[in-house]
Amino acid sequence: MEKVTNNNFFKVSDGARIYYEDYNREDKDPIIILHGYLCSSHFFRSNVEELSKDHRLILIDWRGHGNSSKTIDNLTMERAAQDVKELLDYLNISDANLLGWSMGSTVVLLYYQKYGKHRLKSIGIIDSALYPFSEEDFNSHSLRGFNMDKLAANLEAAYTDYDTYCRNFCKVIFKKLPNQEDEDWVTNEMKKIPPWIAFALYTDFLHIDATKILKTVELPLLISGADSPAIPSGVKMAKHYQKLVDNKCFFHVFESNGHVMFYENPEEFNRVILDFVDNYCIDR
């Protein structure tokens, strides 16, 4: 994990400062990973060494999260996608493997919808609910079927006791309960984003049906899933997405890990990402 300096920040067109880490800058075939709800680039700290050995690796805190600006403006998934585009333009990135984990996958797909193949070689969808409000059987998100009562309860819990809210969220993203050290670290990282910013972004995310975009993808595509208390049927959801693209994807199931498979088992996660980038994408 890099030491944070002014060189880690890029000012996007609306004035927000976006934090990013850029490893192995001289290498080509860059891998870019976008984190999910409440999280940050630092969640991938155990993946940096392996993924950046032979690839440029860029990790981003999208607006409101981690070390990026705690702006109250433009808190939408589409604006987050624009931030990524502006950063890639600034860094003059080409042939990027743009991977999204969890809510970050919606940002990836909105990038594709708005900018097409601009600077991209491939995209990845990692354990994601691409339409959390969907009433269809494949969807196991807790807010399935426009469960506004549950959403209101979540909002009240966050505003009443944000530390407990983040701790409870931390516990469900692991396959098994995390140890105290991991729980404390994850909770403190999540609390970097204020709840009013978190829920503004989250509410926008909930209303987007990104499965419609997924079906239009014409790039090498990674789809993966895992089961966890956060997404109880994450594998079923991933298989549904696989069918939507007629099996035209690199597909992987993280059998033994939860929503944060990259944290629980970095070796398997790194192996899957590199197999996709180095083998599957090259053959396409």
Ranges of residues in the chain whose predicted pLDDT is under 50: none
pLDDT tens digits for range 16-33: 999 999 999 877 789 999
* pLDDT value, residue 134: 93
Domains in the chain: ranges and CATH? 6-280 (3.40.50.1820)
Q: What is the dihedral of CA 209, 212, 216, 221, to 10 degrees?
A: 50
* pLDDT value, residue 122: 97
Residue 93: both structure tokens together: 């990135």
* pLDDT value, residue 2: 56
N residues, the chain: 284
Q: 17-23 and 9-11: which strand pairing?
A: antiparallel
Note whether 17 and 44 are within 8 A (CB): no
* pLDDT value, residue 25: 86
Q: Which amino acid is at 181?
A: E
Note whether 22 and 187 are within 8 A (CB): no
Residue 3: both structure tokens together: 């030491």
Q: Which amino acid is at 15?
A: G
